[in-house]
Chain A
Amino acid sequence: MKAKSLRKVTAEAKLLLIGIPVFLWTMLPIYHIFLFSISTKEEAFAGKLWPDHPTLRNFGLVLNQENYWLNHFWLQLWNSLVIAVTVGALTLFIATAAAFAISRLKARGGRLVMNLALFTYFIPAAFLAVPMYKAMGTYGLLNTQWALILAMVTIAAPYSIWVLKQASDKLPWELDEAARIDGATPLQLFRLVYLPLMAPSLVAVGTYALLLAWNEYLYAFLLLSRDTDITLAVALGHFLSADDSPWELLMTTGLIYALPPAAIYYTFKRYMVGGLTAGAVKS
């Protein structure tokens, strides 16, 4: 009995031994960001573990747009949000429809389409930036947010389709047959049986696409240029073009920028549960 509990303790100690460094490793940069955001300009580079005069003034400056670099803070935050949500929604729509057609309706050539789409990942997205820029120019979409939205959907869709296809393959086939016999058209099957059962995967994929677009820098930088069009990520990048950047404001904005994704993640996390199909078929 005692030996067993001792073994338990050592097992836990081993976990802690790994866990603590990983935790520190992850938290350290975030702590630095936080440190910058509560420091004054003078103290920002003092290298202290805690500033002598912690202040929330930086947040006030950012939220009231009281700096040259932050003239359009709220608009750019809004841009980021609109683009991310649109990308998430569009990707979800395309990927769900594709996965349903490929996995459940067994559309002819569906697998080929999916594999071709996945093939695009062999080329790093950065290399595709220039062709994408050209394509958007051809369609006259440059400097519109649609250019960035469409580009991000293009990048997010293949992986999303693949994930959703794998997930739909796991749904019991008999459910489709039962629904067909019960009188469901393919669209009713999609809406009334498929979508509810796919909900956890849909949340995961939607969150993935949304965060991908939210965090995107390269494409946003290339495809948008007006200060009133760009996303906050690009605006943050502009800080670096000055010799004497207000680092504490950059970090404060960064911290604020990181809050919505965290909120989204924790809101939707509880929907990403398994076991939704429990009880459908005897396995």
Chain B
Amino acid sequence: MASVSFTSIEKSFGSTKVIHGIGFDIADGEFVVLVGPSGCGKSTLLRMLAGLEDITGGTIAIDGRTVNDVESKDRDIAMVFQSYALYPHMTVADNMAFSLKLRKADRKVIAERVDKASKILNLDPYLHRFPRELSGGQRQRVAMGRAIVRDPKVFLFDEPLSNLDAKLRVAMRAEIKALHQRLRTTTVYVTHDQVEAMTMADRIVVMHDGRIEQIGTPLELYDHPRNLFVAQFIGSPAMNVVNGTVRRGGGGAHVEVAGGVRWPLHGAPGAEGQAVAYGVRPEHLTLAPDGGGVPGEIIVVEPTGAETELLIQVGDAQVALRTHGRPAVDHDQKVGLLVDPANVHVFDQSTGARLAS
């Protein structure tokens, strides 16, 4: 168990700079997810922590010790790869025992640890099989078992679930989370899937183009995105965003969008005449019972059972609305939209930064 800290980390591949001065700390026992679109530098950051990539600038410390020039094997970390990377010529048991054997651990200790890990991961029946004889989910568990037996200071996960089918992914997500709650080992987890990030993380680091956009707990990011990128990246379906101008004249403060549509500000910030991006999440829109509110026309109705998603044309923009239950509406129907006053997000159009209230 250990803390991890990144200080002014930079990384270049040749003349291409991919990470521009990143710094943050991970507390002992914390589950941190690095999330961002592909190419944002999240995997590179993880690989630098693993010692698989050189650090161009800055320092990485594990438990207070700078590890920039420490070899992977001496960093006391364990990593789970996207592709599993199991040793194909070794049985499940040997795969898990490999690192301990290299460390010349006592045979009894090895047997105990492998036994314990295989019990935690339900791998008992497969200990003498080879990786090629296992299913994808089982291989993924072996890869995790290999990390567990090490009892390392830090677990690193590099998109471990992206090769699994959707159903298995959800199951393994829960397993990894349960595992962390049980072992309390500091964990750094890389994914491009914001749902994975939201459901698993203690804290999320949102990255984009080699920079950190925001760090925070899942709900902090969801409720108070610091900028337009985070607002649109976190949440599914994504936040509705329309560009317009702030009007504080008659009829209440609102954002006027091209085509004359007026979105109410409800006390959200923004100076008269300022060009802003107005954001509201699908579940914070409701259908007005009396036909008032922002006028629109339903394009598509998507019932998912517990919830219903509506795609609605409002002026030139299309917005999504999510509601519990099954409203009696159909496509082409004219509706009015109400905005939850507590959940209006306003961003500066040019910088993308959230406007301070």
Contacts and interface: CB of A to CB of B under 8 A. Distances in A.
Nearest to A193: B87
A282 B84 CA distance: 7
A262 interface: no
Contacts of A196: 89
B85 A172 contact: yes
Given A182-B73, A184-B73, A279-B133, A175 B87 contact: yes
A279 B103 contact: no
Nearest to A184: B102
A172 B83 contact: yes
Interface in B74-126: 77-79, 81-89, 98-99, 102-103
B163 interface: yes
Contacts of A179: 87, 98
Given A279-B132, A279-B139, A174 B81 contact: yes
Contacts of A280: 83-88, 131
Interface residues of A, number: 26
Interface in A244-273: none
Contact of B86 (A183, A192, A279): A279
Contacts of B6: none
Interface string A215-244: 000000000000000000000000000000
B146 interface: yes
B183 interface: no
Contacts of A277: 88
B229 interface: no
A182 B99 contact: yes
Contact of A276 (B78, B88, B163): B88
Contacts of B139: 279, 282
A169 interface: no
Interface in B112-163: 130-134, 136, 139, 146, 150, 163
B132 A181 contact: no
B145 to A, nearest CB: 12
Contacts of B81: 174, 177-178, 281
Contacts of B132: 275, 278-279
A180 interface: yes
A193 to B, nearest CB: 6
B133 A181 contact: no
A65 interface: no
B231 interface: no
A280 B79 CA distance: 15
Q: Which of B72, B103, B131 has the most CB of A within 10 A?
A: B72
A172 B143 CA distance: 15
B46 to A, nearest CB: 12
Contact of B163 (A172, A178, A282): A282
A181 B51 CA distance: 8
B88 A197 contact: yes
B102 A183 contact: yes
Contacts of B163: 282
B158 to A, nearest CB: 9
A279 B89 CA distance: 9
B320 to A, nearest CB: 34
B287 interface: no
Nearest to B140: A282
Nearest to B162: A282
B72 A181 contact: yes
A166 interface: no
A115 interface: no
Nearest to B136: A282
A10 interface: no
Contacts of B88: 197, 276-280
B190 interface: no
Contact of A279 (B51, B131, B146): B131
B200 interface: no
Interface in B58-79: 71-73, 77-79
Interface string A169-208: 0001011011111111100100011001100000000000
B87 A281 contact: no
Contact of B77 (A175, A181, A282): A181
B50 interface: yes
A197 B85 CA distance: 13
Contact of A281 (B72, B78, B83): B83
B52 interface: yes
Contacts of A193: 87
Interface of B: 50-52, 71-73, 77-79, 81-89, 98-99, 102-103, 130-134, 136, 139, 146, 150, 163
20 contacts: A177-B52, A177-B81, A179-B87, A179-B98, A180-B51, A180-B72, A181-B51, A182-B73, A182-B99, A182-B146, A183-B102, A192-B98, A277-B88, A278-B131, A279-B132, A280-B84, A281-B81, A281-B86, A282-B82, A282-B83
Given A175-B85, A283-B83, 8 more contacts: A177-B85, A188-B102, A277-B88, A278-B88, A281-B85, A282-B82, A282-B83, A282-B136
